[in-house]
Amino acid sequence: MIIRKQFDEVMVPNYAPSQMIPVKGEGSKVWDQAGKEYIDFAGGIAVNALGHCHPELVNILQTQGQTLWHLSNVWTNEPALELATQLCKATFAEQVLFANSGAEANEAALKLARIHAKKQFNNAKTEIIAFENSFHGRTLFTVSTGGQAKYTEGFEPLPGDITHLPFNNLAAIEYHISDRTCAVIVEPIQGEGGIIAAEPVFLEGLRALCSKYNALLIFDEIQTGMGRTGNLFAYQGYQVTPDILTTAKALGCGFPIGAMLTTRSIGNSFAVGSHGSTYGGNPLACAVALKALELINDATLLAGVRQRQQMFVSGLQQLNHKIGLFRDIRGEGLLIGCELKPAWKGKARLLLTRAEEQGVLILTAGPDIVRLAPSLIIPYPDIKKGLQRLAQAMLAIKVGL
């Protein structure tokens, strides 16, 4: 019998998982070792876009698993070439580089921006502009780029020439950006930072400034990509085209894969050996992601995301009308944030625990914000049932439990 106590004995104490251990998932439901059922509003942190164990993904994984698992990048493979082709068809991109995670996709994007500036312009063009409160991953370069000091503390010295400016404040960028800037990296909706959407004029302004100063505009769509917002990628809703786009989380719907998408003229600044990965573009990951892309890039599925958003938001507003824990309910598509009122400040994690007790899995985004990122195809009855359970958890918090 595997027990939760083993975590504290044999795992580096880098996480603090719940006491229950999930053992099975199907669609938008999960069961723990005791057989208790949970409705999944967390989606593996915006990863399981097609729920748990989607039959078509299971099928493709099994088929590819019996065909070809891994080669490295010394040889290419059919699933990788087909996935890259379809990602280019579905977006502005003309070239793709595969990685295994979001942080790795951003690492590649930032390295490409630096080398592109050196090759096309000059050695002084190295500054990266990023935003306060942003999140771009946990490698040293990506935490340094992210705008949350708590994630870099203790890991100094950090990679240099990264400037953090306020989000949604175009004047600050306009004042600061220069010919020394090689890239601006932005999340169209700040996810870990609290589900804060960029204003359209902000992204439009960034696009114009980047073009003016020959800086690359990088959209980190690791959390917002693959249908999460009701568009395949969030940029398509904003109608602002980046130079580089990174995606990961839902790309493999739970099978680890990341990708950096760009244009030919920028991608060609990498040469053979500029960057590398043993696993990047692995056939198992690419076969699953190819099927996921086919299923998600579908007008009916994407319309369903917007319908489900309506159901979530109106359901949450109704609960909040009665119980009143939240000061704001916001988000795009199925990336939803509920900000706690000052009276309940810091209680997001406690609400997560209470929700789990009631049989619904939710997420936080910082101490004051509850985040929901369920499957894009979560059945309507599961939304209803999950919200009822969430209401019980909210009531528990309200009475001080």
Ligand X SMILES: *Cc1c(COP(=O)(O)O)cnc(C)c1O
Contact set with ligand X (CB under 6 A): 101-103, 106, 135-137, 187, 191-192, 220, 222-223, 248-249
Q: Which two tokens stand for residue 394?
A: 């909210």
Write down the residue that tokens 């244009």 correspond to. 263
In the complex, what is the shortest distance from the CB of residue 327 to ligand X, in angstroms, rounded to a whole number? 24
In the complex, what is the shortest distance from the CB of residue 358 to ligand X, in angstroms, rounded to a whole number? 27
Distance CA 185, CA 378 (A): 31
Q: Which is nearer to ligand X, 228 or 347 (CB)?
A: 228
CA trace torsion 396, 399, 400, 401 (10° rounding) = -30
The residues with which 372 forms a beta bridge, in sequence order, are 336
In the complex, what is the shortest distance from the CB of residue 258 to ligand X, in angstroms, rounded to a whole number? 6
Q: Which is nearer to ligand X, 102 or 283 (CB)?
A: 102
Question: In the complex, which residue's CB is closest to ligand X?
Answer: 102
Q: Which is nearer to ligand X, 223 or 375 (CB)?
A: 223
Q: Which is nearer to ligand X, 29 or 136 (CB)?
A: 136
Distance CA 257, CA 305 (A): 23
Q: Which is nearer to ligand X, 223 or 358 (CB)?
A: 223
**CB-CB contact of 56 with 64 (8 Å):** no
In the complex, what is the shortest distance from the CB of residue 380 to ligand X, in angstroms, rounded to a whole number? 27
In the complex, what is the shortest distance from the CB of residue 59 to ligand X, in angstroms, rounded to a whole number? 25
CA trace torsion 196, 202, 207, 213 (10° rounding) = -110
Helix 299-323 to helix 380-398 angle (10° resolution) is 30
Give the DSSP H or E segment for 24.
Answer: strand 22-26
**DSSP code string of 334-374:** TEEEEEEPGGGTT-HHHHHHHHHHHTEE-EESSTTEEEE--
Q: Which is nearer to ligand X, 187 or 243 (CB)?
A: 187
In the complex, what is the shortest distance from the CB of residue 105 to ligand X, in angstroms, rounded to a whole number? 8
In the complex, what is the shortest distance from the CB of residue 104 to ligand X, in angstroms, rounded to a whole number? 7
Q: Which is nearer to ligand X, 162 or 397 (CB)?
A: 162
User: Exposure of 294 by Cβ count < 10 A (0-12 exposed, 13-18 middle, 19+ buried)?
Assistant: middle
